[in-house]
Amino acid sequence: MFRFACQRLLPREKTSFRRNATAKGRVDVDQCAVEVCHLVDRAAEHLRAASGKMRVFETKLNSKDLVTATDREIEELLIRGLRQRFPEHVYIDEEGTAGASTGRKLTEEPTWIVDPIDGTTNFVHGFHCSCISVGFWLDKRPELAICHNPTLQLVFTARRNRGAYLNGAPIRTSGQTELERSLIMQELNAANLGCEHRDILWQNAVGMLLKAHALRTTGSAVMDMCLVAMGAADGYYEFYPHAWDLAAGTLLVREAGGVVMDPAGGDFDLMSRRVLAAATPQLGNQMVQLLGDKQIYHQRDDEPQKSNSNSNSIFK
Ligand code: IPD
């Protein structure tokens, strides 16, 4: 099933996992696609095997920021595998296998951006929205995306200028242009509940609820973006997610015909920890208008981590 689901990501002529030698210094996106499919397949097997077991977790920045051994094992599998194949590429990952996760600049260099489990809290609780998410960026723009939810058997793939796919079948956004007729995804991240952000979070949620048909949350930023890409949701916004939560979803939404932008309008910035995705530019602009000046700015991913930044004292 996985190989079939990946077929649109793989080289057009030979849709197999066969690996060829890469010309030195040249970025062979076909080779990147072959390798990442192969590794995500293995990673998904690992995630599936861990899913029935009791999930022991540790905490990171605060008592609601969870991580498990499975996050680290999958990240290690992906980063080690990719690095063996592409030692000259740059790596940005959630759990720090490739070095400090934050304080890394996004450059023109070929860059792999890896979230081993997006939706770790879901994974800990056995809530079926945990995805392996990998984006490959080149010249500061997304080239490849793969998001695999092994429990629900959903494999989303996208390649720049070649469309977005779910389990091998093309997907498109809903085409919705009216906020009044939309279903909006919003993550309710506990780290936003610090006093200075709490009111903004609720005001935005209430504003969306009053205007749109409905508001939903999955606990996985990439899953939210996949839902927009496949037309099951019309929009998504969040102030908090990291580059590894957004790198794959950005391409998936754009290749499915949607827009990804800053929640205050203007260009999307992968390292800004701010995102708004919508089925159409019209809907995106209406969401921007509704958010207005009720914006949250967290410390950017390309700034060095300040001690205790992003932790939230009320949950420590
Ligand atoms: C988180 C999830 C969550 C979103 C956060 C992410 P993680 O990723 O995607 O839904 O609200 O912004 O950081 O920690 O589960 O990989």
Could you tell me the CATH number of the domain that includes residue 52?
3.30.540.10
Ligand 1 and 241: CB distance under 6 A: yes
Question: Which tens digit of pLDDT belongs to each residue from 176-216?
Answer: 999 999 999 999 877 777 778 889 999 999 999 999 999 99
Q: Residue 216 has what pLDDT?
A: 97
Q: How far is the CA of 12 from the centre of ligand 1 (A)?
A: 33
Q: Which of 115, 146, 170 is the last residue of a domain?
A: 170
Q: What residue numbers bound the domain in which 117 lies?
A: 2-170
pTM, full prediction: 0.93
Residue with tokens 């997304």: 142
Q: Judge if 201 and 148 occupy the same domain.
A: no
Q: Residue 316 has what pLDDT?
A: 53
Contacts of 80 (CB under 8 A, 6+ apart): 97
Total count of domains within the chain: 2
- Which residues of the chain are modeled with pLDDT < 70? 13-25, 54, 307-316
Ligand 1 and 249: CB distance under 6 A: no
209, containing H or E segment: helix 195-211
Q: Which of 111, 138, 170 is the last residue of a domain?
A: 170
Residue (of 266, 255, 188) closest to 226 by Cα position: 255
Q: Judge if 210 and 124 occupy the same domain.
A: no
User: How many Cα atoms are found within 13 Å in the side-chain-facing hemisphere of 308?
Assistant: 5
Q: Are 215 and 208 in contact (CB under 8 A)?
A: yes
Q: Judge if 220 and 127 occupy the same domain.
A: no
Q: Which of 170, 192, 215 is the last residue of a domain?
A: 170
Q: Residue 16 has what pLDDT?
A: 47
CATH of the domain at 260: 3.40.190.80
Q: Are 272 and 266 in contact (CB under 8 A)?
A: no
Which pairing describes strands 154-159 and 90-93: parallel, antiparallel, or unpaired? unpaired
Q: How far is the CA of 23 from the centre of ligand 1 (A)?
A: 37
Residue with tokens 């051994």: 69
Q: Judge if 278 and 153 occupy the same domain.
A: no
Closest residue by CA, ligand 1 atom 8:
118
Q: Residue 23 has what pLDDT?
A: 47
Mutate to test the pocket of ligand 1, among 245, 272, 312 (most ligand atoms within 8 A of CB): 245
**How close are the terminal C-alpha atoms of the chain, in Å?**
43
Nearest-atom number in ligand 1 for the CA of 244 is: 16
